[in-house]
Structure 1
Amino acid sequence: MVEIGYKLASEEHGPLDLVSNARQAEDAGFAFAMISDHYHPWTARQGESPFVWTVIGGISQVTADLRLLTGVTCPTVRIHPGIIAQAAATAAAMMPGRFILGLGSGEYLNEHIFGDRWPPAPVRVEMLEEAVEVIRMLWKGGMQDYYGSFYTLENAEVFSLPEILPPIYIASEGPISASLAARAGEGFINAGTNAEECLIVFRNSGGGDKPAYMEVSVCWAESEEEGQRNAYEQWPVAANKGGLNRVLPTPAHYEQLAAMVTLEDVAGNVPCGPDPEVHIKKIEERVRMGFDHVCVHQIGEQQQEFMEFYRKEVLPHFR
């Protein structure tokens, strides 16, 4: 049975709106929510990027059943994995049994801001694997020391540990990280690139029947044309190919890239408009790939209208 989730897009919404949207997503019947962890939005037009761990604290106080995972946190360059271990432990203590730590190798857009070198992809995956080891070591409790290839801990102890430790899911858009997700994670996340191929690698590398999450961007609007226009203006990155979303340093660069993208390019990747069958078809495509959790990202400001539409027209189909 597939579960449908709601994307809390930190690039588009301020902290109070994200907290409110999480509450409304729970009321609408979404099974889980995934919240992005960015320092910058993709473009200045998107206009937001609050600190995710503060927002999670707010969400914990206004929801009762909604499961929440970071989609995804990078614990390698901008923030040391020892800090992520503490932050995630606190989040899990505030949301017992319903917080999941989603980890990935990150984007240059967010991780270079302190002047750190941005390593090539294979090295980033090695860093991620070591970061997972650091996090799990700290979650064992007690004073810990660690001297690895990338990270050091000295006399570090996370005192506020939850009764139920959060599972770690790992994001992948390539075979190396898909293999890592299988051996080091309790679940798999894909944001929409090389999804089917990566899922096959994940399953064949030992992922077995672990949960597999995928993100799908849509744009509900009162007409297909309005939805296409909103998606093009607000989320042009939906048309980007290959590894471009990993290597550009600033929102301005993504805006320059967006100038080479057409409305048709974005509309070809994003279901738009008020026809429930269009939305259902997109989700069912992901289910046929083998994903058992599909997280739907509504582009733009019409979040409440989108949630009401899904409550009435889309979510019942998947029950």
Structure 2
Amino acid sequence: MAAIGYTLMTEQAGPRDLIRHAQQAEATGFDFAVSSDHFFPWLDEMGHAPNAWVTLGAVAQATETLPLMTYVTAPTFRYHPAVVAQQAATLQIISGGRFTLGLGSGENLNEHIVGGGWPAADVRQARLVEAAQIINALFDGGYVNHDGRHFQVASAKLWDLPDVRVPIGIAVSGKQSCELFGPLADVMIAIDPEPELGQWWDAASRTGSSSRKVAQLPISWDSDADAAAQRAHRLFRWSAGGWKVNAELPGTAGFDQASSSVKVADIAETIPCGNDVGAVVAAAKEFFDAGFTDLALVQIGADQQDNFFAAATAEILPELRKL
């Protein structure tokens, strides 16, 4: 059965609201929740960027059964992988085994803050491979020493390991990344409904064809379709640039400039806007037809979450369950 999740969008809501949203997602019946992990929002209009790990710790205490996941954390620049491993192990204990560690190679937007520069994509992938190796080794238990090209670890050990090992998910975008990260992870994370991704992942993954495959779908639910489209444009026009562009931009001003020619109609063509549940189902079906097992919905607009949860209970989840 398709698993339908909810996205804790740290770029558009503060930490107290995010905790409340997680409680509402659990009460509404979502199967899991994912949280973004940013130091900056993409656009000034979004207005937020609380610490995801502190927020998730609070969410774990404020919920009872809702599975949680980072979507995604970059253990490559502003976080050292040993620190990420410790955070993940601790969160797994606090949540009672409900956490999955989602990893990615990062964006200049968030990682530039530590002043280390922003290297080419192949270097970023190499750093993520090394980071994932370190995290896996720490999850194995015992002392870890690592003297690598990008990271050093000296006699590190996780003193509080959970009873249930933290599953690792890694974001991929093509055959090369599937082959690199499949052997290091349990869960595939991607943004496009491309069947080949799942096939490449299954061939390389340490969990084979049983791997979870997680994606994300932004929507702008509203009884007023025009207002929904305007809101999606105001807060999500940054997404039109595509990942290869978005990963390189260093700040909100860059995203604003890069998306200056994007029109409301352009965004409405790619994001379901309004209250047509059929449009949401059709967009979701593309991912499930492509082999994804899990899909996390993003409701655009922090002030629209209550309306979204009401619609999810009455219409959206019942229709998506039919998939």
Task: Give the drift of 1:281.
Answer: 1.3
CA distance 1:221–1:196, change in 2 (3 Å): same
Which residue number corresponds to residue 312 of structure 1? 314
Tell me, in whole angstroms, the C-alpha distance in 2 between the residues paired with 1:114 and 1:182.
29
**Equivalent residue, structure 1, for 2:51:** 51
SS at match of 1:268: helix
Q: Secondary structure at the match of 1:208?
A: helix
Question: Is 1:241 matched up with 2:242?
Answer: yes
How far apart, CA to CA, are the structure 1 residues paired with 2:240 and 2:37?
21
- AA paired with 2:81? P
1:233-253 Cα distance to aligned partner (Å, 9 max, x none): 111123223511100000111
Q: Give how far 1:198 is off.
A: 2.7
Deviations 1:251-303 (A, max 9, x none): 11101112121111111110011111111111112111111111110111201
Q: If the length of structure 1 is used for normalisation, what is the TM-score?
A: 0.96
- Report the 3-state secondary structure (helix = DSSP H, G, I; strand = E; otherwise coil) of the residue aligned with 1:308: helix
Equivalent position of 1:83 in the other structure: 83
TM-score, normalization: structure 2? 0.95
Give CA-to-partner distance per residue, 1:8-51, whole Å, 9 cap, x none: 11111100111110010000010001100101000111010011
Provide the secondary structure at the position in 2 that maps to 1:113.
helix
User: What is the deviation of 1:123?
Assistant: 1.7
- Which whole-Å CA distance do the structure 2 matches of 1:47 and 1:108 have between them? 18
Give aligned pairs, total: 318
Q: Deviations over 1:90-145 (max 9, x none)?
A: 10010122100000101111111121121211221111111111112122333322
1:27 aligns with: 27
**Where in structure 2 are the equivalents of 1:14-163 lying within 5 Å?**
14-163=14-163
**Structure 1: runs of 5 or more not aligned:** none
Q: Which residue of 1 aligns with 2:226?
A: 225
Q: How far apart are residue 175 of structure 1 and its match?
A: 2.5
Distance in 1, Cα, partners of 2:50 & 2:27? 23
Partner of 1:177, secondary structure, is helix
Name the SS of the counterpart of 1:297 in structure 2: strand
Q: Whole-Å Cα distance in 2 between the matches of residues 284 and 215 of structure 1?
A: 12
Distance 1:15 1:26 in 2: 17
Which residue number in structure 2 is paired with residue 205 of structure 1? 204
The answer on whether the counterparts of 1:103 and 1:170 sit within 8 Å (CA) in structure 2 is yes
Preserved CA contact (<8 Å) 2:25 2:309: yes
SS of equivalent to 2:210:
coil
Q: Is 1:251 aligned with 2:273?
A: no
**Which piece of structure 1 moves more, 18-27 or 131-140?**
131-140
Pair 1:188-2:188 in alignment:
yes
CA contact 2:129–2:181 (8 Å) conserved in 1 = no
Greater mean deviation of Cα atoms: 42-51 or 149-158:
149-158
Structure 1 residue aligned with 2:263: 262
Q: Deviations over 1:137-180 (max 9, x none)?
A: 12233332211121111122221211112100111123322223
Cα pair 1:11 1:42 within 8 Å, conserved: yes
CA distance in 1, matches of 2:47, 2:174: 29
Please report how far the alpha carbon of residue 70 of structure 1 lies from its aligned counterpart in structure 2 after TM superposition.
0.1
> Structure 1 residues 219 and 92 mapped into 2: Cα distance closer, same or farther (>3 Å)?
same
Residue 169 of structure 1 contacts residue 181 of structure 1 at CA under 8 Å; is this kept in 2? no
1:226 counterpart SS class: helix
Deviation for aligned residue 1:203: 2.8
* CA distances 1:207-254 after superposition (whole Å, capped 9, x unpaired): 423110111110001121111111001111232235111000001110
Structure 1, 68-77 or 175-184: larger mean CA deviation: 175-184
CA distance in 1, matches of 2:14, 2:265: 29
Q: Distance in 1 between matches of 2:196 and 2:249?
A: 25
Residue identity opposite 2:76 in structure 1: T
**Aligned 8 A contact 2:143 2:157 in 1:** yes
